[in-house]
Structure 1
């Protein structure tokens, strides 16, 4: 098996890392899937680490794609599954680099399981006025693998060959589900509390109160993982940490709130609340976090702007 044609769906913070790396690869076709105004914008290039990149821009009718990299925001996935189905053929490998632990399940419900390889990415990428930025040296990169034997499959070997000599950091693992849950734990415990506080990640070391909230979220997540038969400890020491960042770093949920966008909280605490109900496991920390971040989204939407309602009266309850 050889991968000669790669398409990226979602040319944002995560997709830009893939585009940056694979643009350095000879003898492959690299493109992004986009339609309409977004396609027109991408044809003008993507700025990554202060340099312009010009991948091909393909529509959802593009054929003969060997590898489709899905790098969307969670809220965009339900409306994108038809696009995914339209570009996938019998031999296309689909790699979802989305956060969370259920995007593969959502994609598989549309195209079947056999095309999907499980994966995750650890990259501290953020958007600035001149494009997307990340540190290639400190980025941990892409981790991928099969969920059953043979773990070192032909498509794993093909992806390794594709990523070699590109600048991308990557590794395959025999414990991809455990690795995905280990990253899920990082996101839930480190991403969400700082988003409520509106402070850099140094808050977890500098405040016992922030650490207590993070630990509460962690305990609920690990209890659910154990009930689902996921032994996160199998993921190894490398999976217990994210990419190196300064104490001032603001992770994706806080970046979304800063930009007045809706977050991926449904993929984080929302998913854990749902799984907790299915397994009869209480999730009070995640329920509080979920509702707080939803309320912050409403605040950004202007729901609590009462400046024009001087005559409106309400009563404390």
Structure 2
């Protein structure tokens, strides 16, 4: 198997990392590379391209129909956009297409597999400390951990694992193959829940975790609940590589994706984080009070961004209770 065509669904921070890494192969005509988009989004991409680390890239822009039959589809969407993209994914995927989801959370592969069949899905995750600025997406290529992927069961060095390895070789993309991809995905999920969410509530850089015993206590509470659910599901997080216990190196001022969303007035992926843990906790009979509080707090912050609490002096008076 050789990967000669790649489609990226979702040209945000994660999609831009892949686009950046494969751009030279596309420029050398050794790889067909395109971003899947329609409507006004597609037109903006055609006109403006993607600005990554100060450089403008102009990838091909394909409709789902034009992308049909690519060798590799990389799904790099925000969680809330996935349900609306499932029809596009079905259109893109042919019998030979391999699909890698680089989305956060622990269930995007399951949602995609339910539409196209599990045999198409090569489980994966990405760790990249990227952020949007006025001039596009920025990340540090050297400190980025990158893409971790692998088969759920033997043979772990399958044809498609080798094909993806050959694709990423001699590019700027950092990558690693693992025989414990499920545990690696849950290990990243733990990082996101414990490090993404308390910071988002506080509205401060990641230095808060070392500087505040109170923020650390919240993080530890979220961790205990997640690890209890993982254990009940038979997921041994100790099998994840030691490198998976941390993310890409960032300064104490760094703001992770949930806080970036709130800063920008966007809705977050909290349903994929604490929302998913609350659901799994109910199914398993495991209490999740830290996650329940965190879920409702971040939902309230989204409502605040939506203007729900923009009260004026002319609003009706209510009694305090």
TM-score, normalization by structure 1: 0.99
Count of residue pairs the alignment pairs up:
316
* Cα separation, 1, equivalents of 2:315 and 2:159: 69
Secondary structure at the residue paired with 1:43?
helix
Residue 148 of structure 1 pairs with residue 148 of structure 2: no
Q: Would the aligned equivalents of 2:123 and 2:149 in 1 still touch at CA under 8 Å?
A: yes
Secondary structure at the aligned position of 2:64 is classed as coil
Distance in 2 (alpha carbons) for counterparts of 1:316 and 1:283: 30
- Please say if 1:254 is aligned against 2:230: no
Structure 1 vs Structure 2 CA RMSD: 0.7
Cα distance in 1 for partners of 2:320, 2:15 equals 47
Aligned-partner Cα distance in 1 for 2:290–2:164: 39
CA–CA separation in structure 2 for the residues paired with 1:244 and 1:281: 33
* TM-score (normalised: structure 2): 0.97
Deviation at 1:311, TM superposition (A): 4.6
SS of equivalent to 1:32:
strand
Within 2, Cα distance between the matches of 1:168 and 1:263?
Answer: 27
Query: Alignment partner of 1:31: what SS?
Result: strand
Name the structure 1 match of 2:305: 300
**Larger displacement relative to structure 2 (35-44 or 243-252):** 35-44
Q: Any idea what SS the aligned residue of 1:117 has?
A: coil
Give secondary structure in 1 for the equivalent of 2:316.
coil
Partner of 1:136: 141
Consecutive unaligned residues in structure 2, runs of 5 or more: none
> Which 4+ runs in 1 deviate beyond 2 A?
none
Within 1, Cα distance between the matches of 2:167 and 2:121?
17
Match of 1:95 among 93, 97, 100: 100
Q: Is the 8 A contact 2:69 2:95 kept in 1?
A: no
Q: How does 1:191-210 map to 2 (within 5 A)?
A: 191-210=196-215
What is residue 38 of structure 1 aligned with on the other side? 41
SS at match of 1:132: strand
Secondary structure, counterpart of 1:166 in structure 2: coil
**1:75-224 correspondence runs (5 A):** 75-224=80-229
Summarize the alignment of residues 18-37 of structure 1 with structure 2, pairs less than 5 Å apart: 18-25=18-25, 26=28, 27-37=30-40
Shift of 1:9: 0.2
- Provide the C-alpha distance between the structure 2 equivalents of 1:237 and 1:39, rounded to a whole number of angstroms: 40
In the TM superposition, what is the alpha-carbon distance from 1:313 to its structure 2 partner?
Answer: 1.5
SS at match of 1:61: helix
| In structure 2, C-alpha distance between the alignment counterparts of 1:192 and 1:310, rounded to whole Å | 35
The answer to whether structure 1 residue 12 and structure 2 residue 12 are counterparts is yes
Q: Is the 8 A contact 2:205 2:255 kept in 1?
A: yes
Instruction: Classify the secondary structure of the residue corresponding to 1:114.
Output: helix
In the alignment, which residue of structure 1 is the partner of 2:320?
316
In the alignment, is the contact (CA less than 8 A) between 2:198 and 2:218 conserved in 1? yes
Q: 1:231-246 counterparts in 2 under 5 A?
A: 231-246=236-251
* Cα 1:225–1:310 shift into 2, 3 Å: same
- The reply on whether 1:281 has 2:286 as its aligned counterpart is yes
Q: CA deviation digits over 1:208-249, x for unaligned, max 9?
A: 000000000000000000000000110021100000000000
Indicate the SS of the match to 2:65. Answer: coil
Q: State the shift of 1:116 in Å.
A: 0.4
Shift of 1:49: 0.4
Secondary structure at the counterpart of residue 155 of structure 2: coil
- Listed as ranges, the gaps of 5+ residues in structure 1 are none
